[in-house]
Amino acid sequence: MEFHFLIKAFFSGALVGVLGLFFHLYNTLVAKPERLRSALKRQGVSGPRPTLLLGNILEIKKARDSAAKASTNGAPASHNCGGTLLPFFDKWRQQYGDVFMFSLGNAQIVHVTQPDMVREITTCTSLDLGKPTYQAKERGSLLGQGILTSNGTIWAHQRKILAPELYMEKVKGMITLVQESTITLLNSWNNIVEEEGGLADINIDKHMRRFSGDVISRACFGSNYSEGEEIFLRLRALQEAASKKLLAVGIPGMRHLPIKSNREAWALEKEVKTLILNVVKERKEVGYERDLLQMVLEGAKNSDLSQDSIDRFIVDNCKNIYLAGYETTAVSASWCLMLLASHPHWQDRIRAEVQEICKGRNPDADMIRKMKQLTMAINESLRLYPPVAVVSREALTDMKFGDLNIPKGVNLWTMVTTLHTDPDNWGPDSYQFNPERFANGLTGACKFPHLYMPFGVGPRVCLGQNLALVELKILISLILSKFSFTLSPKYIHSPALNLVIEPGHGVNLLVQKL
């Protein structure tokens, strides 16, 4: 009798467990997404019909795969980067308007390009509007949990320790470092050009990464810069692994499956953490140094965070510095040089300005502030090829933007590539390279200046933007003072989205000494 009772109890418990799991999955995969979508539909927000589990992922993947096959030999006639990388958004926007919804798995996303709503979203300081939960889980291995999640304590602490004004002071002290790294690059190009008889075909991408890697390794890790270079190599590999999973971020459970991409990312994440904390241990033994790592360490030391949170804070900020100071600068430099190679008259204008201001000297902080032509060209390059394609947030409680009530759990996406090239904002030549539009600054370049956000905008603007701009100005001004260049016949225009927007086949330039 007792045996039969146990068997009955076992099966009853198993049945309850199965039913509980079923209802949990039904709520997660079906009921909750449908509830969120219904709340938005009642307010007039529509969008493409999602499929169960995958949402609109298959439709997005099909459009992206088709767009990826399209490439241009040489410079394109029109720089519609968003249309190349994310053609489905243009299609949906035409069909459903400036505000529409779509799904990545069970993640419900509202796409917003309406100017007033974009302003509200990007200037919102409430910690109730955080980084998407699914991004924190899937991409946190690269960009850092403390930076991406809704953890208000860590986010607020990060902004206090790495405040823009403090960060800018550090940047001012890095001018000499940037100059030295640029001169190393110039000497390398000079040797290549001489070996090729005065005209060399150079794939510049690896040179841009070597330059930015040298700057950020020394700026961040000081005397430990060789270990810093190793860390950044691993982070580059981790970025490539994370980019393979971009479309699967909203599929429940995918991050836990021991598939090849996950195993690769897990191993790299563990390796990066170990390398960073080893450098931190060495630094504590050596003592104080004037670099970004010291800035992070001092902030962490003065906090009331637990040791685990301190370690995560340090590792996360080193990852953030990598993306902002290394990857962003490298790809932005490649795109800017590609555009200048396609428009030699702008090379001449900037070169004349550099010669007039610098008079043969290396540019310093005061000099680069005076370089109006160069600033215009960099701003236009960042407009057409912004490092990041989308700014994303999640409503961590019920919120309201404009007339739209956003239920808790809904994500808000603002497409930077769309905002940067909308003819209604930038004029009929919005897909053309025309730095002259910035002649009177950003306010004179377009109707809605707040829609220009190459490094984000508002209170959560990228902390690395000042360093990236200083690097770009010194690098490009010195290159133009020593070399002229045109696009190589080998150049294939094919933008690729790997967390940042980068040249899919690299940038080849024909480089000649002046």
As a whole number of angstroms, the distance between CA 380 and CA 374 comes to 10
As a whole number of angstroms, the distance between CA 184 and CA 190 comes to 10
The answer to whether residue 465 scores a pLDDT higher than 80 is: no
pLDDT for 26: 58
Query: Stretch 96-104: mean pLDDT, rounded?
Result: 93
pLDDT for 3: 57
Triad 94, 99, 103: Cα angle to 5°: 95
The answer to whether residue 243 scores a pLDDT higher than 70 is: no
As a whole number of angstroms, the distance between CA 124 and CA 131 comes to 12
pLDDT for 68: 65
Query: Stretch 27-49: mean pLDDT, rounded?
Result: 86
pLDDT for 76: 85
Neighbour count for residue 97 (Cβ, 10 Å): 15
207 or 295, which is more confident: 207
As a whole number of angstroms, the distance between CA 200 and CA 11 comes to 76
pLDDT for 101: 95
Query: pLDDT category, 142, cuts 50, 70, 90?
Result: very low
Binding-site residues for heme: 462
> Percent of the chain, pLDDT > 90?
43
pLDDT (tens digit per residue) in 405-438:
999 999 999 999 999 999 999 999 999 999 999 9
- Burial of residue 114, with CB atoms counted within 10 A of its CB: 0-12 exposed, 13-18 middle, 19 or more buried: middle
pLDDT for 171: 66
**Residue 56, φ and ψ in degrees, nearest 5:** -105, 20
Binding-site residues: 462
The answer to whether residue 48 scores a pLDDT higher than 80 is: yes
397 or 160, which is more confident: 397
Query: Stretch 388-396: mean pLDDT, rounded?
Result: 88
As a whole number of angstroms, the distance between CA 346 and CA 433 comes to 10
Query: Stretch 438-465: mean pLDDT, rounded?
Result: 84
Closest listed residue to residue 246, CA positions, set 141, 96, 394, 93: 141
Q: Which CATH class is domain 32-513?
A: mainly alpha
Closest listed residue to residue 328, CA positions, set 244, 376, 388, 401: 388
Q: How far is CA 59 from CA 54, 56, 105, 421, in A?
A: 10, 5, 12, 24
The top-scoring range by mean pLDDT among 99-108, 321-330, 449-458 is: 99-108
Which residues in 61-147 belong to E strands, given as ranges?
A: 72-73, 99-104, 107-112, 129-130
User: Which residues, in sequence order, are CB contacts of 128 under 8 Å at separation 6+?
Assistant: 395, 396, 397, 399
Length of the chain: 514
pLDDT for 128: 87
Query: pLDDT category, 4, cuts 50, 70, 90?
Result: low
Average pLDDT of the chain is 81
Query: Stretch 92-110: mean pLDDT, rounded?
Result: 91
pLDDT (tens digit per residue) in 325-371:
677 889 999 999 999 999 999 999 999 999 999 998 999 989 999 99
Here the tokens at position 93 are 């926007």
- Do residues 432 and 168 touch, judged by C-beta distance below 8 A? no
Secondary element (H or E) of residue 201: strand 199-203
Q: Which of 86-90, 111-115, 453-457 has the lowest mean pLDDT?
A: 453-457
pLDDT for 144: 39
pLDDT (tens digit per residue) in 111-141:
999 999 999 998 888 888 887 776 554 444 4
Query: Stretch 200-213: mean pLDDT, rounded?
Result: 93
As a whole number of angstroms, the distance between CA 23 and CA 17 comes to 10
The three-state DSSP-derived secondary structure of 123-163 is HCCCCCEECCHHHHHHHHHHHCHHHHCCCHHHHHHHHHHCC
pTM score above 0.95:
no
As a whole number of angstroms, the distance between CA 354 and CA 372 comes to 10
The top-scoring range by mean pLDDT among 178-187, 320-329, 384-393 is: 178-187
Here the tokens at position 489 are 């016949």
The answer to whether residue 200 scores a pLDDT higher than 90 is: yes
- Burial of residue 280, with CB atoms counted within 10 A of its CB: 0-12 exposed, 13-18 middle, 19 or more buried: buried
Q: How many CA atoms lie within 13 A of 142 on its CB side?
A: 28
Q: How many CA atoms lie within 13 A of 88 on its CB side?
A: 19
Please spell the DSSP secondary structure of 313-337, one letter per residue: HHHHHHHHHIIIIIIHHHHHHHHHH
As a whole number of angstroms, the distance between CA 147 and CA 129 comes to 13
As a whole number of angstroms, the distance between CA 347 and CA 484 comes to 8
The answer to whether residue 386 scores a pLDDT higher than 90 is: yes
Query: pLDDT category, 145, cuts 50, 70, 90?
Result: very low
pLDDT for 251: 55
The answer to whether residue 49 scores a pLDDT higher than 70 is: yes
- Do residues 377 and 436 touch, judged by C-beta distance below 8 A? no
Query: Stretch 61-76: mean pLDDT, rounded?
Result: 75
As a whole number of angstroms, the distance between CA 462 and CA 456 comes to 6
pLDDT (tens digit per residue) in 253-304:
555 566 666 777 777 778 778 777 777 777 776 666 666 777 777 766 666 6
**Residue 24, φ and ψ in degrees, nearest 5:** -65, -45
55 or 320, which is more confident: 55
